[in-house]
Amino acid sequence: MVTAVRHLGPNWYAAVMGTAIVATAGAALPVHLPGGRTICAAVWLLSLLLLVTLLGARALHWRHHADQARAHLLDPAVAPFYGCLAMALLAVGGGALTVGRYWIGTRAAVALDAVLFTVGTVVGLAAAVVVPYLMAVGHRAEPRDATPVWLLPVVAPMVSAALGPLLVPYLPAGQARETLLLACFAMFGLSLLATLAMLPLVFARIVTGGPLPLALTPTLFLVLGPLGQSTTAVGKFADVAPGVVPAPYSQGFGVLAVLYGVPVMGFALLWLALATAHVIAARRRGMGFSMTWWAFTFPVGTCVTGAAALARHTGLVVYDGLAVGLYGLLVAAWVTAGVRTARGVLSGALLAGPRPVLSAPLPVRVRTTSGAVR
């Protein structure tokens, strides 16, 4: 077991995120299917088990392979995935209140979410500062190296912003509730502005630098994360603001939910089409499975919850249909990534170290019968 976790990177937390969002997004759907609550609760429980297992495996990784763990932190291609740790904690915590409470009870769900939200938020804020700092000082990243993976650390506070309002009703009325709500709003702004600063680098890299490497092509879906999650966040603010903040501001959150969410969701659909086109082209060029396929899950799930929030605040049936359609895409992606991951873990392929790059053989010089050398 100790040897098996040597190459277990922080990117594995994406599997926890992708599983948890299937449960929470399913609970947010405007369509309530028979047995849907039980299924979503079971999927959430699976995400909790995955989180506990992965936390234990990563602890072994740090204890017995500290050299590799430090190398991951100093690797510009791996370090941004530390944002996934924060988002995995937050996603499972939010799922506890959304669907897990039907199995473990409301009191236990609130306690679990409070712990995971607090730890996840602290880790997310730390990642949002430390990882960009390392990229600037230690990694020396170039614009041509920009990929959507760079967004992961700065998106983590947006997940806190979207899930924090779930805890607001369980706090004492007055200062405590308003403080948490406005803290979530502050993290919304923090993450949004950081994303707006980073996203042009990613878009410019794609347009001017050509398609991403095949293994990284699925990461184009990561851009959907801050778009869908921010739309979800403003919808949650509007849900809990009445009675928490003064009347003019509570009404303002309701206006923001629509005036912000509608155009951002429009851009998310544009990006979904663009990313899908890149993935189809990459598959034709031989793109195989890797852990980056989990990028097809959590970001799409945030668009499901974002569309559901718009459906609540606009009353438009079109957003109901959009949420259901995106959820079908999410479930298909989750099943595909889950089956491929389980197969790769059982075979040992996903836990193996990177294959060494073979050097090109030296050219062979042959003397012909005419005496020429070629």
Q: Provide DSSP, 234-246.
A: HHHHHHH-BTTB-
Does residue 157 contact residue 132 with C-beta atoms inside 8 Å? no
The pLDDT of residue 278 is 96
- Asked whether the predicted pLDDT for residue 31 surpasses 70, the reply is yes
Cα three-residue angle 70-75-80, rounded to 5 degrees:
100
Cα→Cα distances 71→66, 84, 186, 352, Å: 8, 17, 33, 16
Q: What is the pLDDT of residues 221-243, one digit of tens each?
A: 999 999 999 999 999 999 999 99
- Three-class SS of residue 35? coil
Kindly state the average pLDDT of the residues 184-189: 97
CA distance linking residue 112 with residue 97, whole number of Å: 9
CA distance linking residue 203 with residue 220, whole number of Å: 10
Q: What is the pLDDT of residues 203-217, one digit of tens each?
A: 998 888 889 999 999
- Asked whether the predicted pLDDT for residue 371 surpasses 80, the reply is no
The pLDDT of residue 14 is 96
Tokens of 69: 């763990």
Name 79's Cβ contacts closer than 8 Å, sequence gap at least 6. Answer: 72, 73, 131, 134, 135, 139
Kindly state the average pLDDT of the residues 42-54: 96
Q: What is the pLDDT of residues 132-172, one digit of tens each?
A: 998 888 767 777 788 999 999 999 999 999 999 999 999 99
State the average pLDDT for the chain: 90
H-run or E-run covering 2: none
- Asked whether the predicted pLDDT for residue 360 surpasses 60, the reply is no
Cα→Cα distances 87→17, 19, 136, 224, Å: 7, 12, 23, 15
CA distance linking residue 35 with residue 50, whole number of Å: 23
Global pTM exceeds 0.75: yes
What confidence tier does 43 reach under pLDDT thresholds 50, 70, 90?
very high
Express as a percent the part of the chain with pLDDT over 90. 74
Name 299's Cβ contacts closer than 8 Å, sequence gap at least 6. Answer: 221, 222, 223, 224, 225, 228
The pLDDT of residue 373 is 42
The pLDDT of residue 44 is 97
CA distance linking residue 302 with residue 225, whole number of Å: 6
**Judging by beta carbons within 10 Å of its beta carbon (0-12, 13-18, 19+), is residue 349 exposed, middle or buried?**
exposed
What confidence tier does 335 reach under pLDDT thresholds 50, 70, 90?
very high
In order, the DSSP letters of 73-87 are HT-TTTGGGHHHHHH
CA distance linking residue 89 with residue 156, whole number of Å: 10
